[in-house]
Amino acid sequence: MPVDPVQEVVSIPSISSTGKGKERISRSCRFHLVRIGRYCVLSIVALFFLFPFLWMFFAALKPQTEIFQYIYPLSWKTFIPQTWTLENYRI
Protein backbone atom coordinates (compact mmCIF):
# COMPACT_ATOMS: atom_id res chain seq x y z
CA MET A 1 0.00 0.00 0.00
CA PRO A 2 1.58 3.31 -1.05
CA VAL A 3 2.07 5.99 1.62
CA ASP A 4 1.10 9.54 0.83
CA PRO A 5 4.04 11.89 1.62
CA VAL A 6 1.69 14.51 3.08
CA GLN A 7 0.24 12.07 5.60
CA GLU A 8 3.72 10.90 6.45
CA VAL A 9 4.83 14.44 7.32
CA VAL A 10 1.73 15.07 9.40
CA SER A 11 2.08 11.85 11.35
CA ILE A 12 5.68 12.51 12.43
CA PRO A 13 5.65 13.34 16.13
CA SER A 14 7.26 16.64 17.02
CA ILE A 15 7.82 18.68 20.15
CA SER A 16 4.98 21.09 19.39
CA SER A 17 2.46 18.30 18.73
CA THR A 18 2.65 17.10 22.34
CA GLY A 19 0.87 20.23 23.54
CA LYS A 20 3.38 21.04 26.27
CA GLY A 21 5.21 23.63 24.18
CA LYS A 22 1.98 25.34 23.16
CA GLU A 23 0.74 25.37 26.73
CA ARG A 24 3.93 27.03 27.96
CA ILE A 25 3.77 29.64 25.25
CA SER A 26 0.13 30.44 25.95
CA ARG A 27 0.72 30.64 29.70
CA SER A 28 3.74 32.84 29.19
CA CYS A 29 1.89 35.01 26.71
CA ARG A 30 -1.12 35.23 29.00
CA PHE A 31 1.15 36.13 31.95
CA HIS A 32 2.78 38.95 29.98
CA LEU A 33 -0.55 40.25 28.66
CA VAL A 34 -2.02 40.31 32.16
CA ARG A 35 1.10 42.07 33.42
CA ILE A 36 0.98 44.69 30.65
CA GLY A 37 -2.74 45.22 31.25
CA ARG A 38 -2.18 45.62 34.97
CA TYR A 39 0.54 48.22 34.42
CA CYS A 40 -1.67 50.13 31.96
CA VAL A 41 -4.53 50.28 34.46
CA LEU A 42 -2.17 51.30 37.28
CA SER A 43 -0.63 54.02 35.09
CA ILE A 44 -4.06 55.47 34.29
CA VAL A 45 -5.01 55.45 37.98
CA ALA A 46 -1.69 57.10 38.90
CA LEU A 47 -2.24 59.85 36.31
CA PHE A 48 -5.76 60.36 37.64
CA PHE A 49 -4.38 61.00 41.14
CA LEU A 50 -1.31 63.00 40.04
CA PHE A 51 -3.21 65.35 37.73
CA PRO A 52 -4.56 67.68 40.49
CA PHE A 53 -1.12 67.98 42.10
CA LEU A 54 0.53 68.86 38.79
CA TRP A 55 -2.18 71.40 38.03
CA MET A 56 -1.74 73.01 41.48
CA PHE A 57 2.03 73.15 41.04
CA PHE A 58 1.83 74.83 37.63
CA ALA A 59 -1.07 77.09 38.69
CA ALA A 60 1.05 78.38 41.56
CA LEU A 61 3.58 79.60 38.99
CA LYS A 62 0.97 81.48 36.93
CA PRO A 63 -0.39 85.00 37.50
CA GLN A 64 -3.86 85.07 39.12
CA THR A 65 -5.57 86.16 35.90
CA GLU A 66 -4.08 83.32 33.87
CA ILE A 67 -5.07 80.42 36.16
CA PHE A 68 -8.63 80.03 34.80
CA GLN A 69 -8.17 81.88 31.52
CA TYR A 70 -7.34 78.81 29.36
CA ILE A 71 -9.63 76.21 30.97
CA TYR A 72 -11.82 75.68 27.89
CA PRO A 73 -10.90 74.27 25.41
CA LEU A 74 -8.18 72.19 27.02
CA SER A 75 -4.77 72.77 25.54
CA TRP A 76 -1.18 72.93 26.69
CA LYS A 77 -1.90 76.53 27.82
CA THR A 78 -4.23 75.09 30.46
CA PHE A 79 -1.35 73.36 32.23
CA ILE A 80 1.89 75.18 31.31
CA PRO A 81 2.12 78.84 32.37
CA GLN A 82 2.43 81.44 29.62
CA THR A 83 3.98 83.91 32.05
CA TRP A 84 6.04 82.37 34.83
CA THR A 85 5.88 84.21 38.15
CA LEU A 86 6.49 83.72 41.85
CA GLU A 87 3.99 86.45 42.75
CA ASN A 88 1.66 83.93 44.42
CA TYR A 89 4.33 83.28 47.07
CA ARG A 90 4.60 86.93 48.10
CA ILE A 91 3.73 87.59 51.75
pLDDT tens, position by position, 14-38 = 555 555 555 556 888 989 999 999 9
For a pLDDT cut of 70, what percent of the chain falls above it? 73
Q: Cα separation of 73 and 55, whole Å?
A: 16
Exposed / middle / buried, residue 62 (Cβ in 10 Å: 0-12, 13-18, 19+): buried
pLDDT of residue 5: 58
